[in-house]
Structure 1
Amino acid sequence: MTQRFQRSAAMAFALALSAPAWAQDTTAPATEAPAATTEETASSTPAKDVTAETVVATVNGKDITLGHMILIRQSLPQQYAQLPDNVLFQGILDQLIQQSALQGNYSGDIPVRVRLAMENEERALLAAEEVGELLETAVTDEAIQKAYDATYANAEGETEFKAAHILVETEEEAKAVAEEVKGGADFAEVAKAKSTGPSGPNGGALGWFGKGMMVPEFETAVMAMEPGAVSDPVKTQFGWHVIKLEETRVKEAPALDEVRGELKAQVEQEAVKAHIDALVEKANVDKSGAEGIDPANLSNLDLLEK
């Protein structure tokens, strides 16, 4: 049963996304059609006004509409989406005709797996519609401004530090290094000569960093220093450090336009979550049926054949 399910699912996928008429090497340039003559252009069928409900073909009395074709077009993998419109149009139309013929010839009951797949698809699509309608009104300039104020307006600027360090293996080495640089030796040159850390060749330079970017012992030492000062030896999991704090700065809050995109995403996420939470809270939800079911059944495809 499992093999049958996998085989039929694979066939359905192939039927939905490929067709002999257009399953070609999409990397090769399309053959250029001869230019139409004036007579051919004049006699061609004029374009007509269409809607999603415009019928493009009928198979055994069942309509195929332009809307059906548009949805297939949107679901194609990228290699098919790059094909010319005329190739896509004919290929999709032929494929829908083939599927309709196959569907019409099927005489059995609707399989459980098909019914459940259709229910899942309808549920997901309508849920997405509900979210889409919500977001049309949830994201406003006022909501984004409120999110900005909550995140940045009343927040104190974060202090950032620019420092360098010399990393050695033992406390004795660190004490000797600290004494050397405090005695007037050039910090960068000593770092190049003695630091075992990856920043050594660059004079121990660490650039700018903020809170939480260094290990706690290192961060605590830096935050207690004044610009220009050199620390006593500081032990971390990496070894012993001698640190020089070069300067500090206060990172100002970004302008609203700089973070508008992330604030918009935040507003959307919060609005959707609040809406879903409210709907679920109001809904009559009974999950007792899930009790006692072995989670391993999620992989049991045979259940879809019963």
Structure 2
Amino acid sequence: MTRLLTGAALALVLTAPAMAQDADTVLATVGETEITLGHLIAMRERLPQQYQQLPDQALYDGMLEQLIQQQVLADAARADLSRANEIGLENEARAFLAGRVIDAAAAVTNTDAEIQAAYDAEYGATEPEPEFNASHILVETEAEAQALVAELEGGADFADLAREHSTGPSGPNGGELGWFGLGMMVPEFEGAVVDLAPGELGGPVQTSFGWHVIKLNETRQKAAPPLEEVRAELEQAVTTQKVDAAIAEITESAAIERMEVELDPALIRDTGLLE
């Protein structure tokens, strides 16, 4: 009969430290292949962000089952490994290792000085650009547009006429187009707006959309955005530059020989060559 543990002995068992575990700790085997804690750590590191937020136990169970399943399927494929699969494995290994180098280069922290330099290069010489806030009434014929101009000159409300007559999508909003810069409108419309003073009417002006009666509401000068507003895009730009520099440096030091082969590019679609 198995002897029961005394209270003191039981306490000793419960407080004993767990056996040390490392990346080589085996969690499962598939045939002769071991799946280790290290495999799970490496897998978790490359999971999309939404999966990183899962509880550890759920991640552990899910990843272990996935690795077991992948190994089962990989073993089945290796039982009759085709040339296509061999080449595919070479490409996957190449892409994985290349990605690790890129990840390492991208992980270097960008300094404030680097961000400031990127800002100065992108926006330092930026001159303020004019922006316009205008409204318009769009109709099909010049005669309709002329009649609207006459009503406006007689004191009619622009927004009311736009809601009543405009065929454009801004009509229900009183014809308001909001703020826009140079190059954002068709040339004929932009040219008419640029020639107006705030509060002044313009038109009729013909474009491919029809005939426009225009009112310039306001103008302003758009300056360069503050650094903090564009920091995220500058961070990305600086990181991209570092990755590109790392790739260029490694590539320049590599022994690369491109063969002079006369080849029909269409052959890249011939999967039969892998059989």
TM interval, short-chain normalised: 0.7 to 0.9
Partners of 1:73 and 1:92 within 8 A in 2 = no
Question: What is the CA deviation profile of residues 272-300 of structure 1, one whole-angstrom value per residue up to 9, with x for unaligned ones?
Answer: 334435555665241534722424x4362
User: Would you say 1:99 and 2:68 are equivalent positions?
Assistant: no
More displaced 10-residue stretch of structure 1: 202-211 or 68-77: 68-77
Question: What is the CA deviation profile of residues 118-174 of structure 1, one whole-angstrom value per residue up to 9, with x for unaligned ones?
Answer: 221221122112222323447332221111112223212232211111111111221
1:106 to 1:212, Cα distance in 2 relative to 1, 3 A = closer
TM-score, with structure 2 as normaliser:
0.77
Corresponding residue for residue 225 of structure 1: 196
1:270 to 1:205, Cα distance in 2 relative to 1, 3 A = same
- Measured after TM superposition, the shift of residue 248 of structure 1 is 1.0
Among candidates 211, 228, 231, match of residue 260 of structure 1:
231
- Measured after TM superposition, the shift of residue 209 of structure 1 is 1.8
User: Distance between the aligned counterparts of 1:137 and 1:298, measured in 2?
Assistant: 39
Corresponding residue for residue 116 of structure 1: 87
User: Distance between the aligned counterparts of 1:227 and 1:56, measured in 2?
Assistant: 74
- The aligned amino acid for 1:304 is L
- Measured after TM superposition, the shift of residue 59 of structure 1 is 6.3
Give the SS at the match of 1:233. strand
User: Distance between the aligned counterparts of 2:217 and 2:183, measured in 1?
Assistant: 19
User: Distance between the aligned counterparts of 2:241 and 2:46, measured in 1?
Assistant: 29
Give the SS at the match of 1:150. helix
Partners of 1:164 and 1:205 within 8 A in 2 = yes
- Measured after TM superposition, the shift of residue 221 of structure 1 is 1.5
Give the SS at the match of 1:139. coil
1:150 to 1:92, Cα distance in 2 relative to 1, 3 A = same
User: Would you say 1:189 and 2:189 are equivalent positions?
Assistant: no
- Measured after TM superposition, the shift of residue 207 of structure 1 is 1.6
User: Would you say 1:85 and 2:63 are equivalent positions?
Assistant: no
Give the SS at the match of 1:165. strand
Corresponding residue for residue 25 of structure 2: 54
1:52 to 1:241, Cα distance in 2 relative to 1, 3 A = same
Among candidates 98, 106, 110, match of residue 127 of structure 1:
98
Unaligned 5+ runs, structure 1: 1-38
- The aligned amino acid for 1:164 is S
Partners of 2:35 and 2:67 within 8 A in 1 = no
User: Distance between the aligned counterparts of 2:192 and 2:138, measured in 1?
Assistant: 14
Corresponding residue for residue 10 of structure 1: none
RMSD, matched Cα: 3.8
Corresponding residue for residue 286 of structure 1: 258
Partners of 2:193 and 2:216 within 8 A in 1 = yes
Partners of 1:59 and 1:97 within 8 A in 2 = no
1:277 to 1:171, Cα distance in 2 relative to 1, 3 A = farther
- The aligned amino acid for 1:85 is Q
Give the SS at the match of 1:247. strand
Corresponding residue for residue 303 of structure 1: 273
User: Distance between the aligned counterparts of 1:162 and 1:101, measured in 2?
Assistant: 62
Partners of 1:60 and 1:104 within 8 A in 2 = no
Partners of 1:234 and 1:241 within 8 A in 2 = yes
Partners of 2:30 and 2:71 within 8 A in 1 = no
Among candidates 41, 55, 68, match of residue 70 of structure 1:
41
Among candidates 225, 237, 241, match of residue 212 of structure 2:
241
Give the SS at the match of 1:231. strand
Partners of 2:140 and 2:211 within 8 A in 1 = yes
Give the SS at the match of 1:217. helix
- Measured after TM superposition, the shift of residue 106 of structure 1 is 6.1
User: Would you say 1:213 and 2:184 are equivalent positions?
Assistant: yes
Partners of 1:58 and 1:64 within 8 A in 2 = yes
Give the SS at the match of 1:288. coil
Aligned length: 264
Give the SS at the match of 2:196. coil
- Measured after TM superposition, the shift of residue 244 of structure 1 is 0.2
- The aligned amino acid for 2:217 is E
Identity in percent: 45
Partners of 2:43 and 2:63 within 8 A in 1 = no
1:220 to 1:270, Cα distance in 2 relative to 1, 3 A = farther
- In the TM superposition, 1:23-34 aligns within 5 A as none
User: Distance between the aligned counterparts of 1:206 and 1:113, measured in 2?
Assistant: 57
1:292 to 1:183, Cα distance in 2 relative to 1, 3 A = same
TM-score, with structure 1 as normaliser:
0.70
Corresponding residue for residue 4 of structure 2: none
More displaced 10-residue stretch of structure 1: 68-77 or 229-238: 68-77
Give the SS at the match of 1:234. strand
Partners of 2:162 and 2:174 within 8 A in 1 = yes
